Structure 1
Amino acid sequence: MSDKKGRVFLRGITSETYGLKEFRRRQLEAPRVRDDSVVVDDAKVGHSGDSEQSRTWWRIGPGDDPFLTQSLQVHFVELPPHSSNHGHGHQNEAAFYILDGAGYEIHDDQRYDWAKDDLVIVHTDSVHRHFNPYDETARCLIFKAKSLWMYLGLIQQGRSGPVADEDRFGPREDWSQVWTPGVADKRKVVKSADTKWETTPLGRVRTLSAIGDDVRTFSVDAFVLEVPAGSRSGKRWQMADEVLYVRSGAGYSLHWEVEAEIAEKYYARIAKEPTRHEFKAGDTIYVPHNTVAQHFAADGEPVTLISGQNRIFKQLGYDQVTYLENAPEYDAAR
């Protein structure tokens, strides 16, 4: 657990030289698989959402040491039976994957019910609270690109309460006037039954949120990947980094570093040998930026991975994914 006195919302990047090779080297040397023993923030500092019953803890965040990424933060929320957390609001979105249990949300005074294997979106500028009225503990995995909002200065957040120095301000105005038109009509809960499995070059995939769909997120792309026992995923090269939560199964992930050769133009040089990263159920796997990755399932049980990525990379011109090898099931289906 971190012993920092304050919470790191946004991490700076400094260097005594023009390049950042040393910064990237340190990131690549950090362990990429984390398990339940890694709690980088236990929410005791500066978190407004927990109640006396609920629990929140972080697996990946910008204040980590060693530092992995601030493209995507990963944390968990646990709600015991017949409990709730405190309502609060923040400008950044959050995407909740329901690992266990069932419950409902109150977002901007509207109710949204959820159950195991659903994806729930806390939309931008949402006042939200999580409820578990049932007899089973509810546990959620949260992906969010919070640092992006922080970098852009969108930092107005906290628990519900009156405006300080209220006499300085006029009457209430509808905040949604500045939102993208039609955004309130998009889906807030992606039910497991409303998604479908597809055989892709990466493998058997169930898409939860992706650019161009009707899900109310602008920042997180998420999908579920299933790798059959003894098989492997496709071998994929992309610029975005990625966090994968191991829902079930065990195996290993191979990562090939990609170096930039800067000549008359940019060339990619892929490492001849990969690094190997063993994983088991409950772990998170971090795949760094500009990396070739492939995931392997051990014999005996399929591996199920829940992937989260920051969508901003697609908006920056890195929308293309290259497959250096397809999943065996995709080639067999063709």
Structure 2
Amino acid sequence: MGKKGRVFVRGLTSETYGLGQFRQAQLAAERVRDDSVVVDDAKVGHSGDSEKSRTWWRIGPGDEDFLTQTLQVHFVELPPHSSNRGHGHQNEASFYILEGAGYEIHDDQRYDWKAGELVFVHTDSVHRHYNPYDEKAVALVMKAKCTWMFLGLLQQGRGGPIERPDEFGEREDWSRIWTDGVLERKKVVRQEDTVWETTPMGRVRVLNSPERTDLRQFSVDVFELDIPAGSHSGKHWKMADEVLYVLDGSGYSLHWEVQEEIAEKYYARVAKTPTRHEITKGDTLYVPQNTIAVHYAADGTPLRLLSAQNRMFKHLGYDKVHYFENAPEYTGELAEAASAV
């Protein structure tokens, strides 16, 4: 939250060509945040809150200390028999239902949801969240809003008449400039729409990715990672930064900084000593860009994580993950399959 209002996009200004000071400041910021961290209480510059609903931000571009504006994370709570305020924005949003059940109205169409499901607000959507039931509903919202802001896609606001109506003609269908076929794509990812797979990262359930061409969401990739007690994820290296929400359990994450060496070409130099970050249920863990990471479950406690990443990195040529070490479950499954042949 900025001193004079909400920060939508953060700038970079430097008197030198090298920008190492910005990366070092980012790497020095605390990467684990819990319920005590509210960087924005939605009282300024927000359109979605109503008298009953509540919105609060965990990660955003106005944060001090600054972490990222690749991803923004906030929570929405709907008490029983309530709704938030209808509004519209050009950016997409993904929200994972942590508690309860309810439904959406998007562009005058209804979409029901319940705990454990992922719901999409599509581009240029007029939307509103409803909870008609006796239990509260809570959603974790993940979005790449700043990407839209950088691209100048900032036409948003609450419903109402347009400004300067005398200067404009009759209504036209906005969807004429949408990608073909998006109206047929799914807006809610249900448990039965996904499968658990054992991968080099570990046991993973993909909720959204470029391969899910049946889903109407293009900016944030989401998966769940289930790490057995005393085990760990794959030790992996990728360029995209990431926010992980701890759905259940506890453990820690090791991060190795990767420094560029600019010689006849780019070389990667990996820090000899990692930083350690303790995590427990309800925390968000931030993994910076160009970082090597591995996540550990505590002894006796499985660890379940929800990962969100900005898909833009994949369009910029960084669509691979390199594994220095596979998750033990993946190695064990391969060995078992090989011995059965």
TM range, smaller chain: over 0.9
The runs of 5 or more residues in structure 1 that have no matched partner are: none
Partner Cα distance (1:312, 1:3) in 2: 26
Partner Cα distance (2:140, 2:100) in 1: 12
1:311 is aligned to 311
Q: Which amino acid aligns with 2:49?
A: D
Give the C-alpha shift of residue 270 in structure 1: 0.9
Partner Cα distance (1:272, 1:199) in 2: 29
Give the C-alpha shift of residue 5 in structure 1: 2.2
TM-score by length of 1: 0.99
Q: Does 1:21 align with 2:20?
A: yes
Give the C-alpha shift of residue 272 in structure 1: 1.1
Give the C-alpha shift of residue 165 in structure 1: 1.2
1:6 is aligned to 5
SS in 2 for 1:5: coil
Partner Cα distance (1:192, 1:160) in 2: 33
CA contact under 8 A between 2:40 and 2:56: conserved in structure 1? Answer: yes
Partner Cα distance (1:41, 1:205) in 2: 32
2:168 is aligned to 169
CA contact under 8 A between 2:2 and 2:62: conserved in structure 1? Answer: no
Q: Does 1:48 align with 2:47?
A: yes
Give the C-alpha shift of residue 256 in structure 1: 0.3
2:188 is aligned to 189
TM-score by length of 2: 0.97
Partner Cα distance (2:202, 2:114) in 1: 25
**How many aligned positions are there?**
333
Q: Does 1:115 align with 2:111?
A: no
2:104 is aligned to 105
SS in 1 for 2:282: coil
Give the C-alpha shift of residue 300 in structure 1: 1.7
Q: Does 1:325 align with 2:325?
A: yes
Partner Cα distance (1:52, 1:27) in 2: 36
Partner Cα distance (1:280, 1:4) in 2: 31
Q: Does 1:143 align with 2:142?
A: yes
SS in 2 for 1:113: strand
2:211 is aligned to 212
Q: Which amino acid aligns with 2:147?
A: L
Q: Which amino acid aligns with 1:282?
A: G
Partner Cα distance (2:3, 2:204) in 1: 39
1:284 is aligned to 284
Partner Cα distance (1:216, 1:281) in 2: 29
Partner Cα distance (2:204, 2:27) in 1: 27
Give the C-alpha shift of residue 116 in structure 1: 0.5
Give the C-alpha shift of residue 212 in structure 1: 2.8
The runs of 5 or more residues in structure 2 that have no matched partner are: 335-341
Give me the CA root mean square deviation. 0.7
Q: Percent identity?
A: 71
Q: Which amino acid aligns with 2:175?
A: S
Q: Which amino acid aligns with 2:34?
A: D
2:89 is aligned to 90
Partner Cα distance (2:55, 2:192) in 1: 28
Partner Cα distance (1:117, 1:19) in 2: 44
